[in-house]
Amino acid sequence: MEIAVFSTKPYDQAYFEKYAQDQAHEFSFFETSLNRHTANLTIDFDAVVVFVNDSVDKATIEILSTNGIQLIALRCAGFNNVDVEAAQKKNIKIVRVPAYSPEAVAEHAVALILTLNRKTHKAYNRVREGNFSLNGLMGFNLHGKTVGVIGTGTIGATFCRVMKGFGCNLVAFDVQESAELKELGVTFLSLNEVFKQADIISLHCPLNEQTQHLINKKSIAMMKDGVMIINTSRGALVDTEDAINGLSSKKIGYLGIDVYEQEENLFYQDLSESIIQDDLLLRLNSFPNVLITSHQAYFTKEAMKEITTTTLVNIDAFSKGQELENEVK
């Protein structure tokens, strides 16, 4: 098969070339993202490999279908950026990587919590400048704090186990409650009760119609004063303007995000010599109690290997007419 890989960075290409050596497929790597304006690059290809910020909407799928694309292989778990119904109408199969390294994302969420709390990023910069003052660096003990986990799938469950090790009280919301997590000591509550009780709220749920802007003016009003909110899932789970208002009023005491609503034209690029036009992001960056990373929670050696090998297995199964274990339907 001839396969076009979009949104490719050097590390993506390196992993594909390393693990695809024994496959009979030909890969072409494009740094540009896939969308309706770049979809014509898929002429003469059989399949596309896409990532989180590729826009595979109805218009894009129309072009893919015309060009003979038979398979959309997501090298990620989420598929909210793909019009699944439009693809099915064109008989284009969709596969994904449902789980790659839950530890990678869970551990990054913990890193955001610890950094925001103990202000290690600020301490590092101070010491490098010869400033050894502790003023403004006071944090709090995680031990005994109530951590609210929204979404207890593989990543959320892993996060629960890590935070249990810190001695935290764990409350959670999920449409499917986990007996295993209950045995661990996690208390499942209604979503509103999680908002009300938690000192720290960590989001580990998919983005869909029910969860879009889950963190908004109404839900923020229910939370404790000074709440810490962590998002390593999808940017649109948080209404950015409402979060900014919550930070301004000091209702939100800390905000750590690895994802952002409008990240598509920002993340994964070096814009250090550019004037960033996103006013909301600039406002977020102006708060001393906000920590933003650029969708790197998944970015470990173990996760990259799993993402690449699972994507290759998905492609190989399709090419051989085998059952697609990771098909999106």
User: What does the angle CA 278 – CA 7 – CA 286 come to, to the nearest 5 degrees?
Assistant: 25
Question: Residue ranges per domain, the chain?
Answer: 2-100+301-319, 102-292
User: What does the angle CA 163 – CA 166 – CA 171 come to, to the nearest 5 degrees?
Assistant: 40
The edge-to-edge listing of strands for the beta sheet with 290-292 is: 187-188, 169-173, 146-150, 200-203, 227-231, 252-257, 290-292
Q: What does the pLDDT look like over 235-266, one tens digit per residue?
A: 999 999 999 999 999 999 999 999 999 998 88
pLDDT (0 to 100) of residue 268: 86
Across 162-286, the runs of DSSP E, i.e. the strands, are: 169-173, 187-188, 200-203, 227-231, 252-257
CATH number of 2-100+301-319: 3.40.50.720
pLDDT (0 to 100) of residue 50: 98
Report CA torsion sign: 298, 304, 308, 309. Answer: negative
3-class SS of residue 19: helix
Across 151-240, the runs of DSSP E, i.e. the strands, are: 169-173, 187-188, 200-203, 227-231
Please identify every residue annotated as catalytic: 234, 263, 295
Report the residue count for the chain. Answer: 329
Record: fold of 102-292 = Rossmann fold (3.40.50)
CA distance 201 to 88: 36
Mean pLDDT over 90-94 rounds to 98
Dihedral, CA of residue 118, residue 229, residue 231 and residue 119, to nearest 10: -10
CA 99 to chain centroid: 12
pLDDT band at 36; cut points 50, 70, 90:
very high
Q: What does the pLDDT look like over 115-171, one tens digit per residue?
A: 999 999 999 999 999 999 999 999 999 999 999 999 999 999 999 999 999 999 999
3-class SS of residue 170: strand
Q: What does the pLDDT look like over 18-32, one tens digit per residue?
A: 999 878 899 999 999
pLDDT (0 to 100) of residue 106: 97
3-class SS of residue 43: coil
pLDDT band at 183; cut points 50, 70, 90:
very high
pLDDT (0 to 100) of residue 22: 78
CA 56 to chain centroid: 17
Residues paired with 47 in a beta bridge:
3, 71
